[in-house]
Amino acid sequence: MYFYSWLRRLCGGLSTPCGRTQPVWGTLSRSLGLSSQRIPEFSSFVARTNTCGELRSSHLGQEVTLCGWIQYRRQNIFLVLRDFQGLVQVVIPQDESSASVKKILCEAPVESVVQVSGTVISRPPGQENPKMPTGEIEIKVKTAVLLNSCKKLPFEIKDFVKKTEALRLQYRYLDLRSFQMQYNLRLRSEMVMKMREYLCNLHGFVDIETPTLFKRTPGGAKEFLVPSREPGKFYSLPQSPQQFKQLLMVGGLDRYFQVARCYRDEGSRPDRQPEFTQIDIEMSFVDQTGIQSLIEGLLQYSWPSDKAPIAVPFPSVTFAEALATYGTDKPDTRFGMKIVDISDAFRNTEIGFLQDALSKTQGTIKAIRIPEGAEVLPIFLIANSNWNSPVAKFIMEERRLELIRLMEIQEEDVVLLTAGEHQKACTLLGKLRLECADLLEMRGMVLRDPAVFSFLWVVDFPLFLPKEESPRELESAHHPFTAPHPGDIHLLCSEPEKVRSQHYDLVLNGSEIGGGSIRIHDAELQRYILQTLLKEDVKLLSHLLKALDYGAPPHGGIALGLDRLICLVTGAPSIRDVIAFPKSFRGHDLMSNAPDSIPSEDLKPYHIQVSWPIDSEAEKSSLNHPHCPDC
Ligand code: ASP
């Protein structure tokens, strides 16, 4: 389904065959280099004249040579040939003189690679297949060559959904033949191409590669280490090109971007990969609004044409509003069920636990209304006078009316109520909100239409958060190079935890797809934040601090998580489905068995040796069978 819509879009509206250069504006477009007006030549330089999927009635009578994989064969009369662009029916010749062609086409196993040459003919009346883009024609074969025979496959290519993910990853090269993977990777390539075009050609950005062998960066995610030949010295794989892109601004490059590979050693998480790709951007002399407009334009420009266009500017909420209304800093705004503060309705309550909560500083009572929730949840409160809840009998009539008014409660709705400290109460209801949405959708209610793309900026984050493991210390909410909000600079020394930052996140359908900030370009301020507030070792960043002292321009930037963005755009169930060779949930490459053990001889030049865990045998054997723990 996916594939055909991609194919239709690609070939849609073309009266001439695809695969030929068709400059819409003739030679002018050629000299202007209007690449987006050109239809790619899919058959240049290779041993075919056309692709299987491009053939239509407009090709009738043409002599063609096709190369592809045998998708299936019917009664030794028809063979369906597949390439990246689609399927075409080939008629196997039955006459004596073509016995050798028949033998090749009838004996080659499914998924063998063949080259056929013949004529494009119409299918006999009544035998057209309207479900197939090439369904009006077929190929009358004259010659055939078996280019390579295929052994028995571990799974059928077309049964994409039926095989386990571990098996798909183990035979990724076969999995890539599926229509879904082809669609996902080609859409990704197309979007990246348009992004490059928008950034470089329309807005003067420079595409610059930055090193992946780097040194440790304080704060932030855990980094992968790479041993060096100098005893005890290691490179780190960068978690992002953050320092380099800032240094490029000091270097006067002015507008940088990179399709950047980043690495984070964060263990297994469902929507993360140890190596992933960011569209990494930095600009000089820019403010937050400038970056936001750039990203809105970028996404609008690169948005696939088979999806509904996106409207800009994207709405924006502050971090505090997002937390108070949705219980998270990445709200899914495709549906309501917002958190309502109902503390006032319960000020003089006699219900012990509510009274107790309200008597504490920051104590609140919050609620969400689940529309028609009575269908899926054990009922706590219902809108009519028969409130079905253990706490109902304690809620006086006028309070009930007040609650109904505040929450706009309808018959069959469910209200979930919680009491406690503001942030905790909101976070809890935020999680319940999503759980309830799942439950309602399981019952058939459509809350999150897959065709809807709901973008949202979240701004005014705090500059610092209490460290999880020791809450008296501070850590950066984004990263230590983020500038404080100009309105809060005066609080930096006295109450740093109250300082807002110039950090912005971009959220799409409840997933964070980007984040960035305006940076600190003043060396003194950067040193103070690193050393005094974050207690980091500034020696590790002396090169950056020094650079800020040599005329660093004001600058800011952002990074978009490409894998996550493409995953949401394609509607793929996992980011692994939009990456050609992803790692498993546990960070293994199930195809090649990486990471792999290394003979101790090979470790010697790096002056390191493995200290095997106690259960070393178990460990070694799990290395030899890496897919077991991943399934
Ligand atoms: N380097 C940041 C990140 O990877 C993005 C940025 O601040 O530009 O999240």
pLDDT at residue 31 in the model? 31
- 158 alpha carbon – ligand 1 mean position (Å): 39
pLDDT in tens, 291-318: 999 999 999 999 999 998 999 999 999 9
User: What are the residue ranges of helices labelled H in 67-221?
Assistant: 99-107, 165-170, 172-175, 179-196, 203
Q: Which residues of the chain have pLDDT under 70?
A: 1-37, 159-162, 268, 377-388, 390, 615-631
Write the residue with the smallest CA distance to atom 6 of ligand 1: 516
- 586 alpha carbon – ligand 1 mean position (Å): 24
C-alpha triplet 26, 29, 33: angle, nearest 5°: 145
Amino acid type, 493: C
Q: Contact, 535 vs 473, CB < 8 A?
A: yes
The closest-lying atom of ligand 1 relative to the alpha carbon of residue 517 is 7
Torsion sign across C-alpha atoms 228, 234, 237, 243: negative
| Three-state secondary structure readout of 517-545 | EEECCCHHHHHHHHHHHCCCCHHHHHHHH
The closest-lying atom of ligand 1 relative to the alpha carbon of residue 262 is 4
pLDDT at residue 625 in the model? 47
Backbone angles phi, psi at 184, to 5 degrees: -60, -45
pLDDT at residue 379 in the model? 56
pLDDT at residue 105 in the model? 97
- 281 alpha carbon – ligand 1 mean position (Å): 9
pLDDT at residue 21 in the model? 30
Half-sphere exposure of 39 (CA within 13 A, CB side): 22
- 560 alpha carbon – ligand 1 mean position (Å): 8
Write the residue with the smallest CA distance to atom 7 of ligand 1: 516
Pocket of ligand 1 (CB under 6 A): 240, 242, 515-517, 557-559
pLDDT at residue 9 in the model? 42
pTM: 0.89
Mutation choice for ligand 1 from 223, 294, 479, CB with most ligand atoms inside 8 A: 479
